[in-house]
Amino acid sequence: MTRTLNVHLLPAMFEPEALRDGIAVVIDVLRASTTMTLALQNGAAGIIPCGSIEEANSAFERSPDTVLRGGERGGVKIDGFELSNSPDDYSPNVVDGRTIAFTTTNGTRALLRCGIAERILVGSFVNLSGVVNELAGCCNPIHLVCAGTNGAVTNEDVLFAGCIVQRLTGCVDIPDVDESRWELSDSSLLALCAWLQMTREMTLPEALLRSKGARNLMALGYDRDIQTAGMIDLCSIVGIFDGNTKRITASPAAARESG
Ligand code: MLT
Question: How far is it, in rounded angstroms, from Cα 163 to Cα 12?
Answer: 22
Rounded to the nearest angstrom, the distance between the alpha carbon of 19 and the centre of ligand 1 is 23
Give residue-wise pLDDT tens across range 61-89.
999 999 999 999 999 999 999 999 999 99
Pairing of strands 142-146, 247-251: unpaired
- The predicted pLDDT at position 255 comes to 63
- What 8-state DSSP symbol labels residue 204? H
Question: How far is it, in rounded angstroms, from Cα 88 to Cα 137?
Answer: 32
Give residue-wise pLDDT tens across range 128-171.
999 999 999 889 999 999 999 999 999 999 999 999 999 999 98
Q: Is the CB of 114 under 6 A from ligand 1?
A: no
Q: Is the CB of 98 under 6 A from ligand 1?
A: no
Rounded to the nearest angstrom, the distance between the alpha carbon of 227 and the centre of ligand 1 is 15
Nearest atom in ligand 1 to the alpha carbon of residue 109 is 2
CA angle centred on 105, ends 100 and 111, rounded to 5°: 65
195: amino acid identity, one letter:
W
Q: Using most ligand atoms within 8 A of CB, pick from 72, 108, 126, 208 the residue to mutate for ligand 1.
A: 72
**Cis omega (within 30 of 0) on the bond before 210?**
no
Question: How far is it, in rounded angstroms, from Cα 253 to Cα 123?
Answer: 16
Supply the DSSP string of 77-138, one letter for each residue: PPTT-SB-S-GGG--HHHHTT-EEEEE-SSHHHHHHHTTTBSEEEEE-GGGHHHHHHHHHT-
Nearest atom in ligand 1 to the alpha carbon of residue 107 is 2
Question: How far is it, in rounded angstroms, from Cα 32 to Cα 36?
Answer: 6
Q: Render each residue's pLDDT in the chain as its tens digit; 259 residues.
A: 899 999 999 999 999 999 999 999 999 999 999 999 999 999 999 999 999 999 999 999 999 999 999 999 999 999 999 999 999 999 999 999 999 999 999 999 999 999 999 999 999 999 999 999 999 988 999 999 999 999 999 999 999 999 999 999 998 888 888 888 999 999 999 999 999 999 999 999 999 999 989 999 999 999 999 999 999 999 999 999 999 999 999 998 776 543 3
The model's pTM is 0.96
Nearest atom in ligand 1 to the alpha carbon of residue 71 is 9
Nearest atom in ligand 1 to the alpha carbon of residue 30 is 8
Q: How far apart are the first and last CA of the chain?
A: 49
